[in-house]
Amino acid sequence: MSDLSQKDIAKRALGLVDLTNLNDDCTEADVSALTSRTVTDHGSVAAVCIWPKFVAQAVRELSGTGVKVATVVNFPAGGTETTAVVAETKKAIEDGADEIDLVMPYRGFMEGRKGFAEEQIIRVKEVIPAPAKLKVILETGEIKDPLLIHLASEIAIGAGADFIKTSTGKVPVNATLEAAEIMLTAIEEARRDHQKDVGFKPAGGIRTVDDAAAYLALADKIMGHNWVSASTFRFGASGLLDALIGEIEGSGATAGEGY
C-alpha cells in the first residue's frame, strides 16, 4: 500500500485532520477541550469542525495558531430551504468561519431534483468570500448508487465546491473506500478536463492509522503522490488524532469513540 512506515503515515495524516465535535450535546466546554488539542508536539491539525453556534468561540480560542475553523450548514439532514441555508452560511462567515461544510440536499437530488441541489450549492458559494472554502457533503452512504455518487460529485464541483466530502457521520454508512474512489475519480476528471482543483474529505468512521493509510494510498493512486496536502485533503474525524499521536509516540493509543 505504501513504502512509508506506520509512524510516517501517522505524521503525514496528522496535519490533514479536521478535528470534529458535532455531537448533539456539545457544550462550550467541549469546544474548548477540542481547540486545546489542535496544536500537538508533532504539529497542528488542519481545522476544527463544530456547530455554527460555537464558531465565534473557536475563532477566539484558535487565534494565532493557523488552525482553521470549519462549521456545518444544512446539517445533518440536508433538507433545509435554500434561503435559510444561505442565511446560516452568512452568519457563520460573519462569526469568522474559514470553511463551510454544506450538506447537499441529497434526498431531493436522489428524487431527481438535481437543479435544486445545484442551485443551493451555487447560492451558498456566492456568500463565501475568498479565502474561505466551501466543502459539499454528498452523503454517499445514503445515495449508494455509484453512478449517482459520480453525478453528485460532478454537480457539486461544477457548482463551485472547493472540496467534496463523503458524509455527515450521522447516517449508518459513512466514509467508504468505494465512494472515495468514485469521488476522487470525479476530482481527477475535473482537473484533467477543466483545470479545476478540488479537494476531498472522507468523514465518519475513520479511527485508525490503517484507515488513514488506505485513504491516503487511494488518493496517491488516483491523484498522484504530490497531490495530498491540507489544501486538498482532509479527514473528518474525532477519534483519529489520538491514534495518530499514539503511533508517532509509540504508545499504542487507540482512537476514541465518535464521529
Active site residues: 101, 165, 201
Query: Residues with Cβ < 8 Å from 182, sequence gap 6 or more?
Result: 140, 146, 149, 150, 153
Cα distances (angstroms) measured from residue 86 to each of 41, 80, 93, 154: 38, 10, 11, 21
The H or E element spanning position 196 is none
Q: Give me the torsion for CA of 77, 80, 82, 83, rounded to 10°.
A: -140
Contact 236, 22 (CB under 8 A): no
Question: Residue 76, CB half-sphere, CA atoms under 13 Å: how many?
Answer: 17
